[in-house]
Amino acid sequence: MSDKMPYKYIILSAENNIATLTINRPESRNALNDEAMREFKDALHQVEKDAATRVLIITGVGTSFVAGFDMKDINEMTRDGFVEYVKLESEIFNLVECFEKPVIGAVNGYAIGNGFELALSCDIRIASEKAKFSYPETKFGWLAPVQRLSRIVGMGKVKEILYTGRFVDAPEAAKLGLVNKVVPPNDLMMEARAMAQQIAAVAPLAVKLTKQEVNSYIAQVEGEYAFNMDSCVKCFRSQDLMEGMAAFREKRAPRFQGK
């Protein structure tokens, strides 16, 4: 794998058996639009094909890890376009979760919506003291995911986080087990690389097979659970969603009607 790939929104680099994938849309706080998602997917395939890479680190530039869905895109989306976006999003999270190589999320700032989900898809999460996590979907009339969060956090806390859309700061995230470690912002990448070096130093096949065993166990525990696309589509173009988006743009409190 070459040190630099020709992406617009992704910076991909590799050194000492460790690849780093950095999301680079600072003007949108690294919100993932369709083009960024497709670049992200391609970059994952590049890393997976590289025999020299043993560990992948995912992070973001600036003050955000990933600040969720790009709000500017939704007004232009058709229903079919929305469904395709959600499918691509889900595919990427599954790729990260089932990636043959261990994945470390270096959460440098805001991990909101699909950014929270991306962080939870990683095997290990190291957070900056400035990191904040949130599924704000209910604030916009949207549907938040359940599966990955519920693996880590008790169901009462899952419901609280999803129903309220509130932020979970780095110390609370550590207390809940959402992150493995919280470090000062300037130490984040050093700590992530140190963890990656520890993993890269052990037997790669054993790590790969261990990850497969863990994922197999999770699949058995969760049974046939699958994301309900029908529920997601019901929120799309609902009056509440349109009101939530308008309130966000106009910087006012939304007036939801439950329709």
> Is 224 labeled as catalytic in the residue annotation?
no
Q: Count Cα neighbours of 97 within 13 Å in the Cβ-side half-sphere.
A: 18
Rounded to the nearest 5 degrees, what angle is found at the Cα of 207, between the Cα atoms of 204 and 213?
A: 145
For residue 27, indicate whether it is catalytic: no
Catalytically annotated residue among 84, 137, 172, 213: 137
Question: Which member of 39, 89, 97, 117 is catalytic?
Answer: 117
Which pairs count as long-range contacts for 22-25, CB under 8 Å and 24+ apart, including other chains? 22/58, 22/59, 22/60, 22/61, 23/58, 23/59, 23/60, 23/61, 23/65, 23/66, 24/60, 24/61
121 contacts: CB under 8 Å, gap ≥ 6:
93, 94, 96, 97, 103, 105, 148
Give every CB contact of residue 210 below 8 A, 6+ residues apart in sequence: none
Closest CA to 126 of 78, 193, 46, 225: 193
Q: Tell me which residues are annotated as active site.
A: 117, 137
